[in-house]
Amino acid sequence: MTGADKNLVEVRNLTFRFGPRIIFDDIDIDIRRGKVTTIMGPSGTGKTTLLRMIGGQLKPKAGEVRVDGLNVPTMTHDQLYFLRMRMGLMFQSGALFTGISVFDNVAFPLREHTRLSESMIRDLVLMKLQAVGLRGARELMPAELSGGMARRVALARAIALDPMMIMYDEPFTGQDPITVGVIMKLIRMINDTLGLTSIIVSHDVQEVSSISDYIYMLSNGQVVGQGAPEQMWRSDSPWVTQFMKAQPDGPVPYHYPATDLAEDLFA
Amino acid sequence: MLGWLQSLGRIGLDFFERLGRGHLFVMRVLAGVPSVLLHPSLIVAQIYSVGVLSLVIIVVSGLNVGMVLGLQMYNTLVDFGAETTLGPVVALSLVRELGPVVAGLLFAGRAGSALTAEIGLMKATEQLSGMEMMAVDPIKRIVAPRFIAGLFSMPLLAAMFSAVGILGGYFVGVGLLGIDDGAFWSQMQAKVDLHEDVLNGVIKSIVFGVVITWIAVFEGYDAVPTTEGVSRATTNTVVYASLAVLGLDFVLTALMFGS
């Protein structure tokens, strides 16, 4: 099996800057087909930026982002939109359309991209909502949903077109333990039962460790660690250790860079 | 001095950069129009939101403007014994100027601000981004139907404003001040030219419709995706669109009636 067959996403020599700030400095990442891969790292390390590059919403300064063998940054508008039909993204906010019901939100991609009859769309939407446990909430408006429910609806919408890959942007942030458990179960279950490839962006160490097959850790524009969750826990890299064990000080400093305290106080 | 010049240069560059982006944006919107025409339901829903929901403010304002115009003009015309010309005076004022301009200003305040706020909030809550990731182009799905709806609605609202305004003038002039009914309408019919007056007014309202809707959808789409950003974009829409209407009105009037 070649690399492209084994990996659904291959990031090579990726470099990206926001103004003078380097977000990625020549990094390589492989996302294996059929696996749940997590991108971890402190806030502001470019985890969400990486998802947006895989989805073609941002273009790198240099390097390649290959999805299913296709180099995303060089694709035309039409090619990119065709590829996006085969990938789903669950936003941190859910990004549901606030003016339409839960049912219509999930039906939206089906109505836009297929010529299925309304009765067929109804059946498909109900099946997707059943998978996330919200079939009974189909008439509700997004404003009537809790944060966790909104993410589950967003997940149902993301899998509406049966994509080959699904990306989760901070799926556990700000959720209560029950909702976190539900989302964890859903991510693993949907990945395995639908035969998808999943990419999670998160900094919730315990949660992702229990459902991920492989973890990449980003910091300072570099991949500072990678491996299966158990390897990450045993890692002797100070970056990985600080993050996995939630140590307040280490390679990621506790203090924001500043002049000497005494100098500052007596200035 | 150098700093002042730098700031001036920065403001100029920012202005022209934004102007360029606005033009590229409208080109993308126009390119998306044919695909939207295949889904008329999207346009109809937006015509309801942009046009029908603006009717109340247009009708009430038109009626008041027409009544005030009738009263003020009567007081001036009666000094010259020319009060029977109230009909054409009210009609020409409304059809040539007040109809398109005041309806344009009201349209910018009511529908333009709503368009900007809606699109800006969709951007701030990642709905536009989510749509892109579902392989649906927000320019075609969200912006183009609103643009077409604005284009259709504005001339109709301006026509409605003028018609209701004339009725307001009639009510005051004929109903309250006792001008002859037949003179009011016959003078109006004789003096108001379909091409010279009505058509030029319609052209003005179409131009205003294009400009107001363009500014509104661009400001929303280009808004900084924060609460302050959307608020600023909404204010910008009302200010820029109002200034554009007033500025363009002079240019169009000079071109149409200058000679």
pLDDT tens for A195-205 read 899 999 988 88
Q: Residue B211: pLDDT above 80?
A: yes
Max alpha carbon distance in chain B (Å)? 70
Q: What number is the average pLDDT over the span A66-82?
A: 92
A123-182 residues touching B, CB cutoff 8 A: 154, 157
pLDDT class of A216 with cuts at 50, 70, 90: very high
Counting every residue, how long is chain A? Answer: 267
Q: Chain A to chain B, count of Cβ pairs less than 8 Å apart?
A: 46
- The answer to whether the Cβ–Cβ distance between B127 and A57 falls below 8 Å is no
In percent, the amount of chain B with pLDDT more than 70 equals 100
The end-to-end CA distance of chain B, in Å, is 46
The predicted-structure confidence for B68-112, as pLDDT tens digits, reads as follows 999 999 999 998 988 889 999 999 999 999 999 999 999 999 999
Task: Note whether A109 contacts B133, CB cutoff 8 Å.
Answer: no
Residue-wise pLDDT tens digits, B104-150: 999 999 999 999 999 999 999 999 999 999 999 999 999 999 999 99
Given a cut of 70, is residue A3 above it in pLDDT? Answer: no
What pLDDT score does B82 carry? 87
Q: What is the mean pLDDT of chain A?
A: 89
Q: Which of A66, A224, A91, A216 is nearest to A152 (CA)?
A: A91
Q: Count of H helices and E strands in chain B?
A: 12, 0
pLDDT surpassing 60 at residue A53: yes
Tell me the two tokens of residue B138.
């927000």
Q: What is the mean pLDDT of residues A97-105?
A: 94
Name A12's Cβ contacts closer than 8 Å, sequence gap at least 6: A28, A63, A64, A66
Query: What is the chain A residue with the closest CA to B125?
Result: A95
Closest CA to A170 of A51, A9, A17: A51
| Model confidence, pTM | 0.86
Beta-carbon contacts of residue A201 (< 8 Å; ≥ 6 apart): A38, A39, A47, A48, A50, A51, A167, A168, A169, A170
Question: Across residues A34-42, what is the average pLDDT?
Answer: 91
pLDDT, position B162: 95
Residues B129, A113: C-beta atoms closer than 8 Å: no
B129 closest CB neighbour out of A57, A87, A98 = A57
* Token reading at B65: 């403007």
| % of chain A at pLDDT higher than 70 | 99
Q: Is A144 helix (H, G, I), strand (E, B) or coil?
A: helix
pLDDT class of A2 with cuts at 50, 70, 90: low
Check residue B110 and report its DSSP letter: I
Residue range B4-12: average pLDDT?
Answer: 92
The answer to whether A83 and A70 are in contact (CB under 8 A) is: yes
pLDDT(B54) > 60: yes
**Which two structure tokens, joined as six digits, stand for B173?**
């002039």
Determine the Cα–Cα distance for residues A73 and A61; give it in Å rounded to an integer. 10
In chain B, the residue whose alpha carbon lies closest to the alpha carbon of A54 is B133
Q: Which residues in chain B are contacts of A108 at CB distance < 8 A?
A: 134, 136
pLDDT band at A4 (very low <50, low <70, confident <90, very high): low
- ipTM > 0.85 for the complex: no
pLDDT computed for residue B259 by the predictor:
67
CB contact under 8 A, A112 and B133: no
Which amino acid is located at A134 in the chain? Answer: L
Which helix (H) or strand (E) segment is A110 a member of?
helix A102-113
Instruction: Calculate mean pLDDT across residues B205-220.
Output: 96
